[in-house]
Amino acid sequence: MARLSRLVIAHQQHHIMQWGNNRQNIFRDADDYTYFLSWMAEAARQFKVAVHAYALLPDHLHLLATPSDAEGLSRMMQWLGRHYVPYFNRKYKRTGTLWQGRYKATVMEPGQYFLKCSAYIELSPVRSGLGREPADYPWSSYLHHTGARHDALITEHSLYWGMGNTPFQREAAYKELVEQGVSQKDGDALLSATEKGWLLGSAAFKAEMEKQTERRVSPGKRGRPHLVKKPQPQEPA
């Protein structure tokens, strides 16, 4: 059975995850992170993908991004791989693949999930024990969103801008949002949708995206369809 093509929808927000092969490290020192971010900025510009949030962890990465067309996201990730993997292999005298299969992605309903996803991404170093607070970890977009540094890679989304009328208000509101954390339920829903490649959102949003893409965006119901029994003819008395 042919594998269903990855769901990518132009102008919609996507959560992307990419793991190292066998969960091995894909970043080993500061130069690795720096080079990857530089190439990602170039790839995002070249293929017209707006990157809203990211976290690079030693063995995997998270992105929150909006492609301008259906091909841009895959082209960006492929371009990144063609530049970063040879660099990594040469540096560490290794051969073969670096990634664990294809990258994972889900399309999400922005009003319900965008800010939760951004917070979830920037909290991932804390969940992985890489810092007590997201501000302790330098390889994510958290410091940009809270005003500690400017990150040219980041394209700020309208939902982030809607958090305040001034940069200070937005940064303070965003910091408070992240401090509140992401519920286990929302985190599990985001992770499951990303791993399985199905859309994350309300029934109305799913129906809208199915109409736009002319394909299923969520799994069908399991099991065989329910059969309605036909009435049996009655014997004459």
**Within a 10 A sphere around the Cβ of 192, how many other Cβ atoms?**
12
Query: What does the DSSP assignment read for 66-111?
Result: EESSTTHHHHHHHHHHHHHHHHHHHHTT--S--BSSSPEEEEE-HH
**Residues 181-198: tens digit of each pLDDT:** 999 999 999 999 999 999
**Within a 10 A sphere around the Cβ of 18, how many other Cβ atoms?**
21
Architecture of domain 13-213: 2-Layer Sandwich (3.30)
**Residues 99-130: tens digit of each pLDDT:** 998 999 999 999 999 999 999 999 999 999 99
* Distance (Å) of CA 45 to CA 62, 99, 197: 18, 23, 25
pLDDT of residue 31: 98
The answer to whether the beta carbons of residues 73 and 8 sit under 8 Å apart is yes
Confidence of residue 222 (pLDDT cuts 50, 70, 90): low
Domain ranges in the chain? 13-213
**Residues 80-95: tens digit of each pLDDT:** 999 999 999 999 999 9
**Residues 8-21: tens digit of each pLDDT:** 999 999 999 999 99
The answer to whether the beta carbons of residues 123 and 59 sit under 8 Å apart is no
The percent helix, strand, coil of the chain (3-state, each to 5) is 45, 15, 40
